[in-house]
Amino acid sequence: MEVLFVSHKYPPATGGMEKQSYELIKGVGRYTKVHTIVFEGDGSRIEFFTRLNRRIIRICKENPGISLIHFNDALIGAWSLTHTGYSHLKRTMTVHGLDIVFPSFLYQRFVLPKFNKFDLIIAVSQATADACTSRGIAEDKIKVVNNGVGNGISLPVARTDADFLLQKKFQINSTGKRLLISLGRQVKRKGFSWFLRNVIPELHDDFIYLMVGPTISPSDPTARLLKLLPTTVKNLIELFLGFPGDAEAIRGLFNDPQISAKAKLLGKLTADDIRILLGAADAFIMPNIKVEGDMEGFGLVCLEASLLGTRVVASDIEGIRDAVHNEKNGYLLPSGDVAVWTRTLNQLITHPESLTLQREDVARYTRQHFSLERMAQSYFSLFKQTGNPPDI
């Protein structure tokens, strides 16, 4: 059995889907021969898509052992439905969340129903699987395989390293403070502006909340263009591009001294700096809120934090439930409940004994339940069941 992986989300681009794609291909390659057609940033993405049909046919002719083609997200999977020339091969696809709930009438009405043509659809979480079935995709075609995370980053981190980094790079004196940290793009579903506006003012003064991730300036050309568009169109484009639609609200909130005294916007950091801050933080915060037409398909960044032993405090919503197991590698709180969020986080200072999770237990649980090896084995097992070649 040979598998052809097709993905337009792949390093050197960074992000959860890119990491998942890279690790999946590498992991399945330990069990069987794999071939790849991936977009690595060379040339135009449009050209990648327009040439894809011909490239798939050519590589399959050159490698007649290929019996299954896996498309690693619904966008490229949807595009493959226009292809011809390889209908004799099994076709599978991973879906991540937004690629199922994207709120375009045309996409929902005319594209999603055709996903039933795939032999297998792998959802990264139960919430993503439920979104598929509620939109008419056959339940018997859908299997859930959670994303995995490697243990190469699970090295111990000294708190003094984080204090030194914050002082040297950002002139932030964090000595003696409790560190909360969030990581990710400033999209609305992440709930960052909600957390700043509603929770930060109610937290103990000994907290510092660090926000890590790419930011945009008010003069950004795309941001200025989007402000001119009707709200409905603007929201669709923001979702499609992954544009940080919460950035303007976040900038405005930092004008409030009550917020800026406790919250610090660090911007995009190196992987080493992120590891130091994640590993030293008292809690990783993921305060997602419900946004119509968007969803958190899984929450890979939660696992990266918990692999370092950092307790995750996250909204009990959507695919996050698959990544954070309550009181195992973190705590799930009601989304949008200011009182519960405030009380739980303040207990880190006022009643630390009430939050019983220990770093070594958090890291161990994450390694055991969310390993890359487990993810790759699950995919390969499903590929075997779907392809069912005679030699296996």
Residues 6+ apart with CB under 8 A from 287: 182, 190, 191, 192, 194, 195, 199, 314, 315, 335, 341
Pick 311 or 12 by higher pLDDT.
Answer: 311
| One domain for residues 127 and 216 | no
Tell whether 359 and 283 lie within a shared domain.
Answer: yes
**CATH number of the domain that 173 lies in?**
3.40.50.2000
Answer whether residue 178 is part of any domain.
yes
Q: Which two tokens stand for residue 203?
A: 């937290």
Residue 312 CA, chain-centre distance (Å), reads 15
The CA dihedral of 159, 161, 163, 164, to the nearest 10 degrees, is 160
pLDDT at residue 14, as a whole number: 53
Residue-wise pLDDT for 107-165, tens only, equals: 999 999 999 999 999 999 999 999 999 999 999 999 999 999 986 555 678 899 999 99
Indicate whether 182 and 46 sit together in one domain.
no
> Residue 111: which domain range?
2-148+371-387
- Is residue 144 assigned to a domain? yes
Q: pLDDT tens-digit profile of 258-291?
A: 999 999 999 999 989 999 999 999 999 999 999 9
Output DSSP code: residue 209: E
Q: How many domains does the chain have?
A: 2
- The answer to whether residues 308 and 172 belong to one domain is yes
Q: Is residue 95 part of a domain?
A: yes
Contact 125, 325 (CB under 8 A): no
pLDDT at 305 over 90: yes
Q: In the chain, which ranges are E strands?
A: 2-7, 33-38, 66-71, 90-95, 120-123, 142-144, 178-183, 207-212, 263-267, 283-286, 312-315, 330-333
Contact 284, 278 (CB under 8 A): yes
